[in-house]
Amino acid sequence: MSKEHEMPEKKSSVGVYVWRLLIIVTALTAVLYAVVVAFPHNRMYKTTASVVLREPDKSITLGFVGDIMLARGIPISIEKYGSGDSQFIFSKLEGLKKYDVLFGNLEGVISDKGKNVGSIYSFRMDPIFAPLLRRVGFDVLSVANNHSGDWSVTAFADSINKVRSAGIKTAGGGLNIIEATSPSIIEVKGKQIGFIGFSDVGPGWLRANDTTAGILIVGNNDAEIISEAKDGVDVLIVSYHFGEEYKTESNNRQQMIARGAIDAGADIVIGHHPHVVQEIEVYKDGLIAYSLGNFIFDQSFSEETMRGMLLEIVINEDGTFSYHGKVVQMNEWYQPEIL
């Protein structure tokens, strides 16, 4: 083949190569355009932003209410106005499950055992209420109060078991002195939250010992018990059944006991027994709520006893806290509602 014939052949190969390259570039441009049209800039930005990980909130939110008594007039209300459905009494409650931990005072026992020891006011609640309280959102209940022994130590021990079987921890009492003095602990976001409780209004005969179920009574070794409990937790809540009934201000003894608990290592002190709301005090680095009043109780003889407080405490990662009180209002059927 002569050189004259070779040159046109080379020109033809280059032309084909250029033509193919042009087609590829055009195709890629079309694909890129389609992608841009299908996913505009702002949409692509939003998609990327939606998967950006946020630092998890490590603050802890605690909820506290006062006296819970589900006997006497409460079953009558349930039967008359709630068609016998025990859930009726809780039907106005909303938002309690948002708390990392929810605490209240169980005023009496949840049991079908024991016998009335002779008190004018003896509170024994139907066992159906243990799982219902758990369903409402309760995590811890204080069992140290003047009505804990109304139906004998047998009913008290049975109540401890029924409450725990429902998934609720107890504070202030146990099946022996070791359980009573050991804090109930709930882990929240890597922090150990401990609860312990005392009664300053008896019954003294129900004091826990080595072999018998009972409660903690305010005494000479409270500071030691609190200090030891604090050693095993990050945050310690101490509850007290103390004060004078129907008094809207704390007395000197309450203040001495509560402040002593803070001095011994408690971070938060929660009070109950007066059946009405009392003041909240910031003492040193701790918080004291002297009485949260009634949460559920059939004391309809005054506005104050039909109204309690839901105390919300937020503990920040650095250990600082904030708090806010919400009104708990019972209606004529004894249904509590958070206002």
**Confidence class for position 3, pLDDT limits 50, 70, 90:** very low
Per-residue pLDDT for 228 more than 80? yes
The mean-pLDDT minimum among 117-121, 239-243, 305-309 falls in 117-121
* Domain boundaries, position 28: 3-49
State pLDDT tens for residues 88-100: 999 999 999 999 9
Q: Tell me what the pLDDT averaged over the chain comes to.
A: 89
| Residue 54 located in a structural domain | no
Kindly report the CATH number assigned to the domain that includes residue 292: 3.60.21.10
pTM of this prediction?
Answer: 0.84
Of the two residues 99 and 15, the one the predictor is more confident about is 99
In this predicted structure, what is the pLDDT of residue 54? 57
C-alpha to C-alpha distance for 271 and 135, rounded to whole angstroms:
24
213 and 151 in one domain? Answer: yes
146 and 16 in one domain? Answer: no
State pLDDT tens for residues 108-149: 999 999 999 978 899 999 999 999 999 999 999 999 999 999
Q: Quick one: angle between helices 252-264 and 222-231, nearest 10? A: 40
| Residue 55 located in a structural domain | no
Please return the burial class of 29, using the count of CB atoms within 10 Å of its CB with bins 0-12, 13-18 and 19+: exposed
User: For residue 71, how many other CB atoms are within 10 A of its CB?
Assistant: 21
| Residue 323 located in a structural domain | yes
Per-residue pLDDT for 32 more than 50? no
State pLDDT tens for residues 182-206: 999 999 999 999 999 999 999 999 9
Per-residue pLDDT for 249 more than 80? yes
Per-residue pLDDT for 38 more than 50? no
In this predicted structure, what is the pLDDT of residue 21? 52
Domain count along the chain: 2
